Every structure is written in structure tokens, then in C-alpha cells.
Amino acid sequence: MSTPQRPRLTRLALALALLCLVAAACGDDTSTGTNDKDTTATAAKDDAPFTLRLGYFPNVTHAPALVGVFDGFFAQRLGKNVTIETHTYNAGPEAVEAIFAGALDVAYVGPNPAINAFQKSKGEAVRIISGAASGGAFFVVKPEINSAADLKGKTVADPKLGGTQDVALRSWLATKNLKTDTSGGGDVSIAPSENADTLTAFKAGTIAGAWVPEPWATRLVQEGGGKVLVDEADLWPGGKYPTTLILATTKFINAHPAAVEHLLEANLDAIDKIASDPTGSQAAVNTEIESVTGKKLSDSLITAAWKNLTFTADPVPSALTKAAKDAKAAGLLEDTNLKGIFDLGPLNKVLKAAGKPAVKDS
């Protein structure tokens, strides 16, 4: 029969032994220089089933999202424990509203809505984690419009007040000494509207032009008889500017770091598929657009629009500083400080694993 003191000592010895084992395990993770420690930490957070709420537009500029859904890249990479709940929007500000309402975890959006979300939350709620598309925005006008001066007293459109094309349009008009305001006044009246309504208004002649992304720019030309007055690529150094970025909530990034990496892997899978099989990718995008809008694009339209876009994970960070300054000048942003808006660590980890060059955050 044992004395009362012996079990107490045994329990103490066991506790010390366990502490030593934990310390040794941690020491092994650090000394090997591998990501074992990170993997263990993320697995603890991502093992339990959860839902990822993903937002995007039924638009050619969001092709990586559409291909990722159609080809199952998101489902394959995220695995059976993650339920993917998709939501579609007409413009970035709507997606940002959904983020702040707690209805989205990750969204494909333009740079200006991403900037607005970052500033609105004082740099706390969201981070840009990747790019998806570059280029593909144009100012299409009626044939009789030959210069900015011809627009004075007329009405033009873009997808959404405070959206990426809205800021680009207001900024360009300002460089031509044409004033605008957020209520539709000024030398040129800007009437933000949904892209389908913009096409209808352009055909009817109630607007003189519109600054829109593809495929709507091509539709205004092909179906509305318009012409391109400004290719936005001409306004950026090297013609490079982000059209679509991936924005994630910091809450989701912190809770599910492994899922973030898998989502970025799926985005890269989609971009690679777009590069290797443009015809199949165009068909996939068209099918997804039809599933959301109820109508497919013509093959000639989607092919023409496709040529004006570059699909890339590079978020072109240097362009965001200018975008923020332009938004402030247009009265749509108060603070242009973007320090901390990017979290590209997970993306660069995924790029390295795929044998691709890293991207910089400035």
C-alpha cells in the first residue's frame, strides 16, 4: 500500500515530463527550418468544418473566380471540411457593404472599393491578399464625341459611385478641367448605374458615354455603336493597373490561415487554366455568367473582351497609391494612408511552392 506522498510526486514528475516533451517538439520545429510548426497551428484552426462565403461579379474581369467555381478549383483545394457559399454582386461597393454586414469572408473586388473598405475600418477589417485581373477598362462614347470638351453639359455613366471605374472617370475629367460632383452635378453629369442599364441608356442616347470594364466596353462598341475615347491602360505606367483584387477580412485570415492559402492556390489554378486553355475558360466563364444573369454572352463578344485583359495574381501594389489619391481628389476618400492594406505573405508562399516569382507589396 503506497504512502500518500508518492502519487503526488508521480503526478509532478509526469507534468515535468510532459513539459519537456512539448518544449522538445517546439524546438524541433524551429531548428529544422520547415513549416511544420505553422502547419500544426493552422490545422488546429482549420480542422473543424466551416463555411467560406465568397463574393464576385458575373463579369469577364472576374474570370479567375468564375473559372475557379466552374472547374471546382475552390472545392478541390479547400477540401471537404469547407462549405463554399458564393454570392454575386454588380459592383465593388456592394460587396464591401456585404463584408461589413458580416455576410462575406472573401471577395473579388476592384482596387477602390478595397481601399474604401480598408479606410472605413481604420485599417483593421480587411486585407488585399492577391490580384486576379489587370486592364480591360475603357471610356466608350458616342461617335460624335471627339474630345473631353465635347462632353460638357452631357451625362455619362459608370458602374457605381466610389467604384474603380467611377474614380478613374472623375479623375480623367478633372485632368481635362471638367468638374463633377457626387450628386450628378458639375460640367459633366455622372450617373452611376448597373452595367446592363448603362448599355440600354447608351443605345437610347440618354447618355453620351460610359467608363466601364469588359465585356461592357466591347458591348457598347459592338451593340451600341460607340467608340473608345480612352483606354485606361494609357493612363498608367507600363499600362499596368489592377482591375480585380482579392479582399479578405482579417477575421477570416486569422481564423483560417490554411484556408486562405488553399483559396490562393485555387485562384492560381484558375489563372493557369485561363492561360493554357483560353477557349475552355471562356466557355466556363460564359456558363457561370448565364447561371447568374440568365443570359450568355456571344462567343465573339467574350473573345474580343478577353484580349483586353491580363489575368494575374500580381495586385500591382504601386498603382493603389495613385488610386487612393485620385479618390481623395474626387471627394470619395478622406485618408490616403494605405500602410498595412496588403497581406501578401500567404500569396508569396503559394507562388514559391508553384515555382513562380514573388510579388512585392509596394
For 154-164, what is each residue's pLDDT tens digit? Answer: 999 999 998 88
Angle at 39 between CA 33 and CA 40, to 5 degrees: 105
Q: Does 43-135+240-353 match 137-239 in CATH topology?
A: yes
Question: What distances in angstroms separate CA 16 from CA 29, 62, 64, 79, one per listed residue?
Answer: 20, 55, 52, 38
Mean pLDDT of the chain: 87
- Mean pLDDT score, 123-149: 97
Cα Dmax for the chain: 105
Q: Alpha-carbon distance 150 to 11, whole Å?
A: 87
> Are 178 and 110 contacting, i.e. CB atoms less than 8 angstroms apart?
no
- Amino acid type, 205: G
CATH number belonging to domain 137-239: 3.40.190.10
> Of 207, 224, 223, 64, which is closest to residue 136 (Cα–Cα)?
64
Grid coordinates standing for 269?
Answer: 489554378
- Mean pLDDT score, 302-317: 95
pLDDT reading at 42 higher than 80 = no
Neighbours of 9 (CB within 10 A): 10
> Of 145, 148, 136, which is closest to residue 62 (Cα–Cα)?
136
Q: Alpha-carbon distance 101 to 108, whole Å?
A: 16
For 47-97, what is each residue's pLDDT tens digit? Answer: 689 999 999 999 999 999 999 999 999 999 999 999 999 999 988 889 999
Q: Which strands, in side-by-side order, build the sheet including 242-249?
A: 82-88, 50-56, 106-109, 242-249, 126-135, 309-311
pLDDT given at position 91: 84
pTM, 2 dp: 0.82
CATH number belonging to domain 43-135+240-353: 3.40.190.10
Is residue 362 classed as helix, strand or coil in its secondary structure?
coil
pLDDT given at position 36: 34
> Are 260 and 129 contacting, i.e. CB atoms less than 8 angstroms apart?
yes
pLDDT reading at 18 higher than 50 = no
Q: Alpha-carbon distance 207 to 204, whole Å?
A: 8
Q: Name the pLDDT band for 46 (thresholds 50, 70, 90).
A: low
Cross-strand partners of 213: 137
pLDDT reading at 33 higher than 60 = no
Is residue 139 classed as helix, strand or coil in its secondary structure?
strand
Sequence spans of domains, the chain: 43-135+240-353, 137-239
Residues whose CB is less than 8 angstroms from the CB of residue 256 and which lie 6 or more positions away in sequence, other chains included = 42, 45, 46, 50, 52
> Of 345, 346, 326, 344, which is closest to residue 336 (Cα–Cα)?
326
Residues whose CB is less than 8 angstroms from the CB of residue 197 and which lie 6 or more positions away in sequence, other chains included = none
Residues whose CB is less than 8 angstroms from the CB of residue 118 and which lie 6 or more positions away in sequence, other chains included = 125, 126, 127, 128, 338, 340, 341
For 211-267, what is each residue's pLDDT tens digit? Answer: 999 999 999 999 999 999 999 999 998 889 999 999 999 999 999 999 999 999 999
Environment class of residue 272 by beta-carbon count within 10 Å: exposed (0-12), middle (13-18) or buried (19+)?
middle
pLDDT given at position 106: 98
> Of 154, 161, 132, 303, which is closest to residue 218 (Cα–Cα)?
303
